[in-house]
C-alpha cells in the first residue's frame, strides 16, 4: 500500500467477498505501468491525489477462485485478465459506447480505488475476460497496455496498407507499433532518443527506426497516414506532424506536457485530424484475440519479474535500468 510518495508497504488485509455479480480473482501477474511509478514517486497524477493509503496496480491476470451468487458466465478455475475500469453504465458517455469517458469510472489503482498489487480481488464477471490457452498468465497481465494500443490504432482508423509513424519506443509505443501492423499497416516506423529502445523495437520486428537524438524526423522524407505520439514530448509531436499526408490523423497517447503546439497551416492545408486517447473502450476482446493469434508479442516485452515483497524494486526498475521495458510483479 502506498502511504506517501516513496512509502510503499506490504500489509495484511481481508480477502474481499465478491458481490452477486463478482468473481473473486487470485492475482497471478501484475504489470508495472508508468502511472504506478508516478503515484509512487509523486503521490499524485495531476488532480488525482493519493490522500489515503492506496493499493497500486491495474495490469492484471489471475485465476477465478470464487463466484458471486448471480455469476453466470465465468467458472472457478478460469484464467482471466482484468479490465480495470468499471464505468457507471448509464451516463451519456456510457450509453454512447464511450465508457472510458464516464465521469463515474472506478479504475483499479487510481485514487480512491485500490489496485491489483495484492493477492485477491473481487471484480464484476464481465470485466474478467477469459484468456485463451495460447496467452500465458504473464502475457495476460499485458493485455491492459495492449488495449491502450488497440484503442489508439482504432481511433486512428489504421487499416490495410497504411503507413504509420510511432514516436516514442517505450512500452506503449512498442505495443502501438505491433498493433498497427496487426491492423494492416504495411509500413511502421518508430522513433526514440534511446538506441537501446530502438534495438528492442527491431528485435520485436519493427525494422524501421529513427534515432531522433541524432536525426530528427524532419530530416527524413516520410509520408505517413497516421502518427501515434507515445513519447509525451511536445518536440517529438511538432517534428512528426510534418510527416503526415493530407487527411492524415495524429493520435496523442503520450502524456506529460500541458499544451501541444500545432502548426495551423498544416492542420488546414492538409486537413489533418488530431485527437488524444484516454485509456480504451471495447478494446479487450480485440487485444486478447491479437495476442492469442500471435499478432502481437507480449512475452518478449517482459524484462523483469518480482515478488510482491519486491514491488518497490519493480517500480524502480524502469527508472534505474535503461534496458527495462516492462516489469512484472507475481504475488
**CB-count burial class (<10 Å; 0-12, 13-18, 19+) for 255:** middle
255 binds its own copies (CB under 8 A): yes
Positions 32 through 51 that interact with its own copies (CB under 8 A): 46
Q: Rounded to the nearest whole angstrom, what is the least distance from the CB of residue 246 to its own copies in the complex?
A: 4
Instruction: Determine which residue in the list 6, 246, 307, 323 makes contact with its own copies, applying CB under 8 A.
Output: 246
Give the DSSP H or E segment for 264.
helix 264-269
To its own copies, the closest distance from the beta carbon of 319 in angstroms equals 23
Rounded to whole angstroms, the Cα distance separating 55 from 262 reads 38
Would you say 79 or 154 has its CB closer to its own copies?
A: 154
Residues 6+ apart with CB under 8 A from 19: 68, 122, 124
| Rounded least distance, CB 224 to its own copies, Å | 13
Residue from 6, 20, 195, 285 in contact with its own copies (CB under 8 A):
285
- Of residues 17, 90, 196, 235, which one binds its own copies by CB under 8 A? 90
Residue 199 or 271 with smaller CB distance to its own copies: 271
Strand partners, 54: 2
User: Between 51 and 70, whose beta carbon lies closer to its own copies?
Assistant: 70
Q: Counting contacts by CB under 8 A, is residue 231 touching its own copies? A: no
Given its phi and psi angles, is residue 188 left (phi above 0), alpha (psi -120 to 50 degrees) or beta? beta
56-to-107, 114, 207, 301 alpha-carbon distances in Å: 11, 6, 35, 21
Binder among 15, 289, 308, 313 for its own copies (CB under 8 A): 289
How far apart CA 236 and CA 213 sit, in angstroms, is 11
What is the residue whose three cell numbers read 472457478? 76
Peptide bond just before 112 cis, omega within 30 deg: yes
Question: Is residue 95 part of the contact set for its own copies (CB under 8 A)?
Answer: yes
Range 98-137, binding its own copies (CB under 8 A): 98-101, 124, 126
The two most distant CA atoms of the chain are separated, in Å, by 62
Q: What secondary structure does DSSP assign to 132-156, as a single string?
A: PTTS-HHHHHTHHHHHHHHHHHHHH
Q: For its own copies, give the closer residue by CB, 183 or 306.
A: 183
Q: For its own copies, which is the closer residue by CB, 14 or 259?
A: 259
Q: Which residues bind its own copies (CB under 8 A)?
A: 46, 89-101, 124, 126, 150, 153-155, 159-162, 179, 182-184, 186-187, 246-247, 252, 255, 257-265, 267-278, 281-282, 285-287, 289-290, 292-293, 295
Amino acid at each position: 500500500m502506498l502511504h506517501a510518495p516513496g512509502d510503499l508497504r506490504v500489509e495484511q488485509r481481508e480477502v474481499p467477498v465478491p458481490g452477486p455479480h463478482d468473481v473473486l480473482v487470485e492475482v497471478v501477474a501484475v504489470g508495472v505501468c508508468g502511472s504506478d511509478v508516478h503515484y509512487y514517486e509523486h503521490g499524485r497524477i495531476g488532480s488525482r491525489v493519493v490522500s489515503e493509503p492506496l493499493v497500486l496496480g491495474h495490469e492484471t491476470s489471475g485465476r477465478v477462485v470464487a463466484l458471486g451468487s448471480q455469476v453466470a458466465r465465468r467458472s472457478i478455475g478460469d484464467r482471466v485478465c482484468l479490465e480495470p475500469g468499471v464505468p457507471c453504465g448509464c451516463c451519456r458517455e456510457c450509453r454512447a459506447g464511450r465508457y472510458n469517458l464516464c465521469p463515474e469510472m472506478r479504475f483499479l489503482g487510481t485514487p480512491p480505488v485500490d489496485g491489483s498489487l495484492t493477492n485477491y480481488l473481487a471484480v464484476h464477471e464481465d470485466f474478467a475476460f477469459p484468456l485463451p490457452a495460447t496467452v500465458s498468465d504473464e502475457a495476460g497481465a499485458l493485455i491492459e497496455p495492449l488495449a491502450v494500443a488497440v484503442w489508439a490504432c482504432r481511433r486512428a482508423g489504421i487499416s490495410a496498407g497504411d503507413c504509420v509513424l510511432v514516436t516514442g519506443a517505450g512500452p506503449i509505443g512498442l505495443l502501438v507499433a505491433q498493433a498497427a501492423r496487426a491492423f494492416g499497416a504495411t509500413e511502421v516506423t518508430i522513433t526514440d532518443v534511446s538506441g537501446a529502445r530502438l534495438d528492442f523495437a527491431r528485435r520485436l520486428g519493427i525494422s524501421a527506426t529513427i534515432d531522433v537524438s541524432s536525426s530528427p524526423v524532419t530530416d527524413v522524407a516520410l509520408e505517413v497516414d497516421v502518427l501515434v505520439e507515445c513519447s509525451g514530448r511536445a518536440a517529438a509531436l511538432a517534428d512528426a506532424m510534418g510527416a503526415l499526408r493530407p487527411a492524415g490523423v495524429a493520435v496523442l497517447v503520450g502524456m506529460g506536457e500541458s499544451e501541444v503546439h500545432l502548426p495551423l497551416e498544416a492542420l488546414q492545408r492538409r486537413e489533418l485530424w488530431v485527437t488524444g486517447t484516454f485509456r480504451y473502450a471495447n478494446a479487450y476482446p480485440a487485444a486478447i484475440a491479437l495476442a492469442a493469434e500471435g499478432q502481437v508479442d507480449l512475452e518478449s516485452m517482459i524484462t523483469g519479474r518480482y515478488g510482491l515483497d519486491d514491488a518497490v524494486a519493480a517500480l524502480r526498475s524502469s527508472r534505474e535500468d535503461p534496458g527495462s521495458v516492462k516489469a512484472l510483479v507475481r504475488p
